Structure 1
Amino acid sequence: MRLVRFGAPGEEKPGLLDANDVVRDLSGVVDDIGGAALTPAGLARLKAIEPASLPAAPPGVRLGACVARPGHFIAVGLNYADHAEESGMAIPAEPVLFSKAPNCIVGPNDDVIQPKGSTKLDWEVELGIVIGSRARYVDEADARAHIAGFCLANDVSERAFQIERGGQWIKGKSCETFGPLGPFLATPDEIDDVQKLAMWCDVNGERRQRGSTATMIFGVDFLVSYLSQFMVLDVGDVIITGTPPGVGLGMKPPLYLKPGDVMTLGIEGLGEQRQKVVPFEG
């Protein structure tokens, strides 16, 4: 299945994409794409529904983030060897973990706001993992059973806040609109091999990132297991898993986003996103 949330910001309804990419309304079946709907029992219930029996959403309807606001929005840094190299950082012996504020999550095609005082706004195409059952001290061999699905993410980053302001990376990763998710959550049966997915990101039509999940240092199952040794992962939590090379920070000289720039990005089997950068107002 490919699960979506659609409608105006703050008023999203749950839905799914049928075989013809028509958004079908699930609001008569579940409250949202989160919680019980993402458990194994919840997904089995949704999978049993004939999509044509559901009402269609209006054509061109806005898509929100594909998961209702998670309790945890965890990110993995430097998880591609070639990205670590371009960043001038050593390949980590263990995963580098940081948090993004859950309220930075937005829809896949919503505007990205350049925050007040920002000078080094950057892009990062990433694979997202959505948790489907509570994970606590999970073995790597059992990790896949705790995954509800996968999605496309843009780990928007403000490098000056992240690197030059001291403390934790969270301050450069959590600004308003810094977490586009979607367009859809793909259940694991939709993906042949999550560790062999092509990924890309363009800025203003020019290819900046090209990579594959095959070059991740720490794979999907390992990351779920590893994280569960340090925290309990609950249903609906989101983990984004690192980015391939080609970010603005790694260019020579570095190149950063400005208002009016447009990011387009995608991962094989997980759809595409498009965000325009707009200035902070207020």
Structure 2
Amino acid sequence: MTVTIVTLASSQVKKVLLTFILISAIGIFAMAQDAIGIIEGLRFESDSEKELWEAGQKNPYLLFRAVQAERSLSDEKWDGLVSELDKKFNKKGTHLSVLRSIFEKSHQQLFKTYEQHSTFNDMLEEGKYDCVSASAALALLLERYGFVYKVVETDYHVFIVVNHEGKDIILESTLPIGGMITAPTEVIAYLEGYKADDSTQLKSLNQRLGAPKADLSDNAIFRKVNLTELAGLQYYNDAISYFNDQRFEKASTQLNKALKLYNSERIEGLKALAEEQANLLASN
């Protein structure tokens, strides 16, 4: 009788173990399928880009490094800046002086020369930056040090709003002097200049996100984007360069990746236009 009980108990344990193994296997398979789904149908320029893209799904810094990743990459400047800011943060925490250091030190060490359509890698290697790559750097640092912030996408520009002790502060990355706007009246005026009208349509799909615009009328886009979506906008900017050079297939390749990161109407619209132009060229 005792032997029978032990045998039954052993059989039940085996069933439990088999069930656990089966569930685990299903879970691992599902995760693998998800990972395959992320890169399915996408074309990468190099192994470096593909590796950075995959690792970047968990680490946005690497996702920003994926665009134009053909050359050898160095993290020396980034690591040096982070090391310096870490020391400041360890003493002060999320203090206004730390926020100011993030803005000023980024300009001193990373943002050397404004150039429209400069990738994150251009910024780290050559000091060239635009509003997308510079805002990405600032947002990554704000995330690291626990500041409350949002990245704002507009028609042709990206900027950051930090909420510090209940007050909004603008970080305008393209202005090394005066780009950290703290006065409440100036913050309100800045934001009002970019507020969108729901009845307005985006005028141009193939104009890059770049410097602050001079014309403060007829805005179509004013929305918060996360770091992954901002990386999508960097791919979008890269695609525009190819599109304007009439390299429409290359533009479509970059836009496919942009759409995976950010399901945006402007990216979808330019992708459709690039594919249409590519077909027209092929038929001639």
Structure 1 length-normalised TM: 0.25
TM-score (norm 2): 0.25
Query: Which structure carries more strand by proportion?
Result: 1
